[in-house]
Chains A and B, each alone.
Chain A
Amino acid sequence: MADTINQTARKGFLVDTSRCIGCRSCQVACKQWNKLEADKTSNKGTFENPLDLTPALYNRIKFIELEKSGEVSWLFFNERCMHCGDAGCMKVCPSPGALYRTKDGIVAYNKDKCISCKYCVSACPFNIPRYGDDDKVSKCHLCQDRISGGMTPACAKACPTETLKYGNRSELIAKAAAAKKTLYGVDDLMGLGVVYALEGPPEQYGLPAKPSIPLSIFLWKDVIKPLGILGFWGSIGAMLLHYVTIGPKKVDDDLDVKEEGHE
């Protein structure tokens, strides 16, 4: 069951990857605003750092090096929670209010309500949620505390090249479409809250071409769950029906006849 989302009022990001210079101001600003600890990191011979999202890193720049006929091109990709319109994490979360949708269409969370089941980790189409030492979900929440006060999320505020543009989602898409950008995430999963203007095929950025909720998660929540409830009550109904139609096998049914001979 998808939660309801008001597409016209929806807020979001338009990430124009062609403008990104890989300065990582977004990473730093996010850490500062959300008071996130520094992560111990390692050097793998690339400028990309850290190499993955962590419980204390809600967004990062992924560096992609491509070699085409001797020429090296460098792609920068802002990786973060996509705030899916049909969010796998929200679909599986068993604790109401732990992961919730704001009136702006953002997938926010309340750590106090998180019960540490980690279902959201498995259900995310983009492998975003992380669990830290507190054993609670953490991910980008689009600076709920800033946007509710009318401010721009910290990452977008810090971005010097306007790669990260925050605003009304449909307006941002309309503008980018008018500029003939190749957009990713306009309609998938009832629209991603973070829409990308990419410079190449999604696979080049490590993105699924057609993002969707993982098949076994869909089967679990949308097929097995309802059929299971039906099956449980069905089996109880079948037993009651058996009891009143065919009836129980009473031990003395045939004995009475043999031993006492009445009937």
Chain B
Amino acid sequence: MSEYIERFRTSERVLHWAVTASFFTLLLTGLGLYSRLFHGYFGLFGGGINAIMIHKISGVIFFFSSIYMFLNHKKDISTFDQDDKLWIDKSGGYLSKDASHFNIGKYNPGQKLFALCIAAATAVLGVTGLIAWLPLYFPRFIVQVSLMMHSLFFIGSIMFVVVHVYLATIGNPGTIEAMLYGDVKRVWAKKHHPKWYKETTGENQ
């Protein structure tokens, strides 16, 4: 029996990394727009005008790929069961050194909430971004509020992404493999997602 089981299909991984790549392109091109403190980042793209153009293109890519990803997982990430509630009550065991065991399906409630928040942020950033893209075609008040909301939801997103990257890499060793190669170790699956492991393999632990 192989030591590994499949967690993400190739198409799911490609989609995830398309979202990632466009997100970080948006971050780098947007930093100079966020504050004059980060004006130097425009240099990466040959000036502010180019950075804005790339920001718009990657914005469109991010919007559609992120929304598509959400629609693919809509059911998985928007249903919470009893075991999920237990996980939430104990913060997933992340605030204690003691070993904790939760009967979690394919995604834990933290991952579900992260996905929901990013989907909501994608929608808000997309709409406000479009308004900021064409400021002369909207009432000034709407553009002013959009610029504010765009920065607010960007900040929310980047902070969530920091947590996401931490938990998917050094915070939970063995997790990043799922998104890189598609397969995870059986022991990893049994520890983090026992209910999912049982459903996929039909095995009892």
Q: Mark B34-68, 1 if CB is under 8 A from A, else 0.
A: 11110100100001110110000000000000000
Residues of chain A lying within 8 A (CB to CB) of residue B33 = 94, 117
Cβ of A217 and Cβ of B135 under 8 Å apart? no
Residues of the B chain whose Cβ atoms lie less than 8 Å from the Cβ of A250: 173
Least CB distance from A3 to B in Å reads 11
Report yes or no: B94 in contact with A117, Cβ–Cβ below 8 A.
no
Q: Tell yes or no: B113 within 8 A of A by CB.
A: no
Q: In the bound complex, do residue B162 and residue A232 qualify as a contact, i.e. CB atoms below 8 Å apart?
A: yes
Instruction: Provide the main secondary structure of the chain A interface.
Output: helix
Q: A94-B39, A216-B145, A231-B159 are in contact. Are A117 and B48 (CB under 8 A)?
A: yes
- CB of A225 within 8 A of CB of B39, answer no
User: Which B residues are CB-close (under 8 A) to A242?
Assistant: 94, 166, 171
Q: How many residues of A contact B (CB 8 A)?
A: 44
Given A117-B52, A121-B136, A231-B155, A239 and B147 touching (CB < 8 A)?
no
In the bound complex, what is the Cα–Cα distance between A49 and B173 (angstroms)?
A: 70
Expressed in whole angstroms, the Cα–Cα distance for A253 and B187 within the complex equals 11
Is the C-beta of A252 less than 8 angstroms from some C-beta in chain B? yes
B39 adjacent to A96 (CB under 8 Å): yes
Which A residue sits closest to B144, measured CB to CB?
Answer: A216
- Residues on B with beta carbons closer than 8 Å to the beta carbon of A217: 144, 147-148
Shortest CB-to-CB span from A114 to chain B, Å, is 9
Are A122 and B143 in touch, CB under 8 angstroms? Answer: yes
Q: Tell yes or no: A174 within 8 A of B by CB.
A: no
The answer on a CB contact under 8 Å between A225 and B151 is yes
Please, which residue of chain B has its CB at the minimum distance from the CB of A218?
Answer: B148
Which residues 166-192 in B have Cβ within 8 Å of A in the complex?
Answer: 166, 170-174, 185, 187-188, 191-192
Q: Residues on A close to B: CB < 8 A?
A: 92-96, 115-119, 121-123, 127, 131, 214-217, 219-220, 224-225, 227-229, 231-232, 234-236, 239, 242-243, 246-255
